[in-house]
């Protein structure tokens, strides 16, 4: 029991780092993904459209770990040194921006264009139309996808241990090396991931049900 308590205490430190990385990466992904989706939806320039399409395909089809290596080791080789946590936030966030770009684009394109035209005719500025008319509907439509992405993002923080980010799997491997309690340690790590992810999944599902009931 003492060994289990020690393991859990150590892994909890890593869990806090994992949550911090997830929050930072989600912020980068949400802002970047929404910005790209708005440009993709409302800017008709073919060059811009091609550039966004190429970038999203590249980010989605290259392993996230490769992006982390480039940001952490590659930039360091040219004199730009990022902390492991910052590199993980940016790497996972940029990959997430490509994913959420498609999600938000689908949400925006599912709305009737007449809503935007009517709001502009009523005297609202474009920024107000976006904030008060379009985005609330997009958030409701994309909520299930956002929930799935958030859950997956927390699990993806495990790859950040490859660049020495002190998250759950980083501490788990160190504990295995020092205690040789392999099964117990990795089971504890699995339980900890579940303890973080399941409440988030339930929260998104509950919010989705409430929004559906309010319609």
Residue 13: its pLDDT value, please? 93
Residue 78: its pLDDT value, please? 92
Residue 214: its pLDDT value, please? 67
For 41-88, what is each residue's pLDDT tens digit?
988 899 999 999 999 999 999 999 999 999 999 999 999 999 999 999
Mean pLDDT for the chain? 90
Q: Is 81 helix (H, G, I), strand (E, B) or coil?
A: coil
How close are the terminal C-alpha atoms of the chain, in Å?
Answer: 50
Residue 1: its pLDDT value, please? 64
CA 74 to chain CA centroid, Å, is 22
Residue 179: its pLDDT value, please? 82
Question: CB within 8 A of 15, min separation 6: which ones?
Answer: 167, 168, 192, 196
Neighbours of 25 (CB within 10 A): 27
**Domain 2-214, what fold?**
MetI-like fold (1.10.3720)
Residue 214 corresponds to which tokens in the numbers above?
């309010």
Q: Can you say whether the dihedral through the CA atoms of 203, 209, 213, 214 is positive or negative?
A: positive
Quote the Cα angle for 189-143-156, to 5°: 25
User: Band of the pLDDT at 128, cuts 50, 70, 90?
Assistant: confident
For 116-126, what is each residue's pLDDT tens digit?
777 777 777 87
Neighbours of 163 (CB within 10 A): 20
User: Band of the pLDDT at 7, cuts 50, 70, 90?
Assistant: confident
pTM of the full predicted structure? 0.91
């Amino acid at each position: 029991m003492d060994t289990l308590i020690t393991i859990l205490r150590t892994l909890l430190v890593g869990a806090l780092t994992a949550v911090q990385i997830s929050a930072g990466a989600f912020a980068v992904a949400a802002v970047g993904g929404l910005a790209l989706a708005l440009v993709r939806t409302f800017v008709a320039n073919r060059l811009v459209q091609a550039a966004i399409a190429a970038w999203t395909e590249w980010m989605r089809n290259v392993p996230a770990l490769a992006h982390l290596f480039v940001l952490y080791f590659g930039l360091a080789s040219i004199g730009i040194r990022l902390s492991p946590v910052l590199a993980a936030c940016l790497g996972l966030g940029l990959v997430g921006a490509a994913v959420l770009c498609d999600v938000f684009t689908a949400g925006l394109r599912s709305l009737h264009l007449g809503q935007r035209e009517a709001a502009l005719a009523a005297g609202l500025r474009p920024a107000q139309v976006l904030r008060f008319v379009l985005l609330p509907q997009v958030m409701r439509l994309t909520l299930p996808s956002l929930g799935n992405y958030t859950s997956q993002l927390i699990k993806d923080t495990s790859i950040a241990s490859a660049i020495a980010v002190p998250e759950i799997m980083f501490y788990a491997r160190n504990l295995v090396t020092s205690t040789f309690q392999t099964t117990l340690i990795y089971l504890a790590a699995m339980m900890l991931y579940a303890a973080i992810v399941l409440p988030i999944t339930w929260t998104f599902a509950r919010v989705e049900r409430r929004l559906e009931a309010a319609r």
